[in-house]
Chain A
């Protein structure tokens, strides 16, 4: 193919263009780091170059990145990681004995006693054993087999791997995967990339984003006409909505999955992030087993966890695992083979995960500090969750469901017709228009609800309420510099775009 000649010399098109690249990749979207974030980064650059703005810094409230927003790492975890990185530090009496012991145990399980060696592709065996024990403790003694544990590069890696395994068929037999609306857009991105069919089921905003089996059934039956539904994904606690499902609901979902012969995927990365009174995390596995062998020996399930959230916030280490339940042995062999091609997940992340599932115990030297730090982080998160809900519900045009868990709020915003029309004029989805205005005028970066999915005609945004600068400590709440008040002003401004 030759393009228009330039000064008489014909020039050829590139080998790789948008017209001949992988079409699935073109369908992929990931709003959490999408266009609005790219604009935010641009604005940061402009600020650095001295361009005058109505604000002095951009607050990136778009991504669940705790450390970036001022949360401190847990001391014990970092001490062990330092010891693993540079074992000469074992001689240093600055480090407590329990940290040294953990480091020695991890290094003893590494090739050549080094975290620089590849590990087994499924992950270091003693770490998988520790993960299994953690799961058993968490789930009141229900057995967990280390061979069912796969360490992964963050939970995202394992989720994509499972979806990949599950996708087959052509046309009307193509695999369909059920995911909530709103959802964490890794799911929609992975399904687009794999060319699978996304089956959306709506969470009930009026009932605090709860899951309704009747809605699951509706979505499933509709989908059966154009695809082969095989998987049901649940995020609990939810992202972006933060709802924590009741035990009853989880039982109902399991029952539904069994009836309709669906593979269950339970994304539980926020399992320690539960704040609201009366809410409690119930692991899908625990509920499954408490429902008895009719379910526990038949329902196929994968549960996912990560080192990125909870009280650790260690996103950069890319630590995670999945536990697979009732997987066909031949499929398991295929899974093991598939993960071997990428050799192994990052060993520092595996080491970190080991400490998360095997933290300091009451009789150990680091216990007191560990508990103090963990409690401080989780209670600060709980406080921010509560405050966020309170403040947003005081703004006209914003309705905010209780933030039961996770790290986000997903309030509904009322946009006047004028604003919607303006958005259309600019070729933007209305909530993207709103968020772009907020970014340009107040320097706050959020992700519009359209990036996660929402009912037609409704608008939302997802705000990560982690940033210290967004929510200063309680005692200066009433200060004029309270940034969230900027929302109040901006929202009013957006409600009246002519002003």
Chain B
């Protein structure tokens, strides 16, 4: 057959394909009898895994809160004068002050002409010079190496060594990321493979920080829930890990175990023994360990101490430290810095296969690099003013003030909430949140269900409309069936926090009364 005939046959074959097969949508008849075409991108044709993604921390209740703020600013009358966004761990938005030293160095890095300005201390200037020297063209505007600025990774490694009592840290195992979220999603992406019953399963706590469930939904991985023990202050229980794992093995291939310590939303600080047990469990069951440690400086309760997974791993000896694959995550968003907007973070990878490491480096190179201001900030966090340096006293003063304010607020929150009948709050051992259990009357549960709402969403929505306080319902984080919670940040200044807590108390009493 000649070329022309072949072409003709092809054209005929193509045109005889249905419109949909040729990629064109069916024509739709509209109300006024006109033919119109559906859009290219509709709810039926978007990525199905995206539809499964939920992120309660900025979900429907927060959207309503933003709407209310708009209405208030337009002069609408409400039972409250302002909306209080106690839904998100955003310290600066709630009045926490940035650390002076950090902001001085960042200003110097942004506009190096300020290096000749005598109002800046010498140690700030020398940090800025060091950072700029490591930047292309001595500018924060240059791309950095995809793994992050080398000297910053060296400083991170030294920080980790100091923190972990000398356990060695290789800068090549450090990846600077766009917040910890970026590193977490990247690691999860690497781990996901398989189909059907061999699809990767990832263990995560209930309750959890919903980045994990969102990422797993998006990646089409299987979420394996293990319950934290509310009766024992949200502690982690190995038999429960075992139960969850054994069950999951029937329908997926469990490969990773995620721990958030200190916990979010629960604030529990795991004991050293617990961390050892988890490591032993991961080694035995061949699980890749992911340790989310972004709240490592936020530890308040007496008798509680932060133990890094890496430190414990190495103290357990080479049988574990040579074999267990671990990724630890940290961020500039929490602790005493609260610099969420800079999107600074890092992950340290232990015992990763060399070929996988090459793949990881390749993967992060596609997005070029994490924001350089965030990398600079991380450098200061891991390399703060030292005793003897001009900024030291002020730095320690500010850091201490922030951390002790948080400790005070943690205590206050637990105290006040526990005076409310129908609210029961575990000690806030660490992090930035309380996750109290609330009793919701049957009548309210019924009304919520009739409205197609989770009962604790129903509760939180009512609280928002009546008091202007925006919290996140426990259903957004996960909880045992039949129990209800909310997550509230401890961040507002103490006097404001007290007013907030009293309002929550009043609301709960009103609500309980209303639905009794």
B-binding residues in A (CB < 8 A): 12, 14-18, 20-23, 25-26, 28-30, 32-34, 41, 63, 65-71, 73, 78-79, 81-83, 85-86, 89, 92, 94, 110-112, 114-121, 153-154, 156-157, 160, 164-168, 186, 189-190, 193, 221, 224, 228-231, 260-263, 298, 300, 312-318, 326-328, 330-331, 334, 337-338, 340-349
Q: How far is the CA of A120 from the CA of B113 in the complex (A)?
A: 32
A-binding residues in B (CB < 8 A): 14, 17, 21-25, 37, 39-43, 45-48, 50-51, 53-55, 57-59, 66, 88, 90-96, 98, 103-104, 106-108, 110-111, 113-114, 117, 119, 135-137, 139-146, 178-179, 181-182, 185, 189-194, 211, 214-215, 218, 255, 286-288, 323, 325, 337-343, 351-353, 355-356, 359, 362-363, 365-374
Q: Do A348 and B14 touch (CB < 8 A)?
A: no
Q: How far is the CA of A316 from the CA of B91 in the complex (A)?
A: 25
- Contacting residues, chain B, for A116 (C-beta < 8 A): 91-92, 98, 337-342
Minimum C-beta distance from B196 to chain A (A): 14
Residue in A29, A230, A330, A331 whose CB lies within 8 Å of B23 = A230
Minimum C-beta distance from B87 to chain A (A): 11
- Which of the listed residues A68, A79, A121 has the most CB atoms from chain B within 10 Å of its own CB? A68
Residue in A23, A33, A119, A167 whose CB lies within 8 Å of B368 = A33
Known contacts A33-B368, A334-B46, A340-B58, A81 near B136 by CB under 8 Å: no
- Contacting residues, chain A, for B190 (C-beta < 8 A): 16, 21-22, 25
Q: Do B110 and A85 touch (CB < 8 A)?
A: yes
- Which of the listed residues B95, B341, B366 has the most CB atoms from chain A within 10 Å of its own CB? B341
Minimum C-beta distance from A310 to chain B (A): 12
Q: Do A337 and B55 touch (CB < 8 A)?
A: yes
Q: How far is the CA of A14 from the CA of B185 in the complex (A)?
A: 20
Residue in B54, B92, B182 whose CB lies within 8 Å of A114 = B92
Q: Do B92 and A111 touch (CB < 8 A)?
A: yes
Q: Do A346 and B343 touch (CB < 8 A)?
A: yes
- Contacting residues, chain A, for B111 (C-beta < 8 A): 78-79, 81-82
Minimum C-beta distance from B82 to chain A (A): 13
Q: Do A316 and B366 touch (CB < 8 A)?
A: no
Main SS class of interface, B? loop
Known contacts A16-B352, A338-B50, A343-B179, A85 near B340 by CB under 8 Å: no
Minimum C-beta distance from B194 to chain A (A): 8
Known contacts A78-B110, A316-B371, A346 near B88 by CB under 8 Å: no
Q: How far is the CA of A230 from the CA of B42 in the complex (A)?
A: 12
- Contacting residues, chain B, for A224 (C-beta < 8 A): 14, 17, 21-23
Q: Do B356 and A17 touch (CB < 8 A)?
A: yes
Q: How far is the CA of A156 from the CA of B339 in the complex (A)?
A: 23
- Contacting residues, chain A, for B143 (C-beta < 8 A): 63, 65, 68, 315-316
Minimum C-beta distance from A116 to chain B (A): 4
Cβ-closest chain A residue relative to B285: A15
- Contacting residues, chain A, for B39 (C-beta < 8 A): 300, 326-328, 331
Cβ-closest chain A residue relative to B343: A346
Q: Do B325 and A14 touch (CB < 8 A)?
A: yes
Q: How far is the CA of A15 from the CA of B325 in the complex (A)?
A: 7
Known: A20-B193, A224-B21. 6 other contacts (CB 8 A): A14-B356, A15-B255, A315-B142, A316-B140, A316-B369, A338-B50
- Contacting residues, chain B, for A41 (C-beta < 8 A): 145
Minimum C-beta distance from A164 to chain B (A): 6
Minimum C-beta distance from A217 to chain B (A): 12
Q: Do B43 and A331 touch (CB < 8 A)?
A: yes
Q: Do B342 and A334 touch (CB < 8 A)?
A: no
23 contacts between A and B (CB under 8 A): A15-B287, A23-B193, A33-B365, A65-B136, A67-B136, A85-B107, A114-B341, A117-B92, A117-B340, A190-B366, A193-B363, A193-B366, A224-B17, A230-B23, A230-B40, A316-B141, A316-B143, A328-B41, A334-B51, A337-B53, A341-B181, A342-B179, A343-B340
Minimum C-beta distance from B498 to chain A (A): 19
Known contacts A14-B351, A15-B288, A224-B22, A340 near B55 by CB under 8 Å: yes
Known contacts A168-B48, A341-B215, A25 near B93 by CB under 8 Å: no
Q: How far is the CA of A420 from the CA of B41 in the complex (A)?
A: 45
- Contacting residues, chain B, for A315 (C-beta < 8 A): 141-143, 368
Residue in A15, A30, A331, A346 whose CB lies within 8 Å of B373 = A346
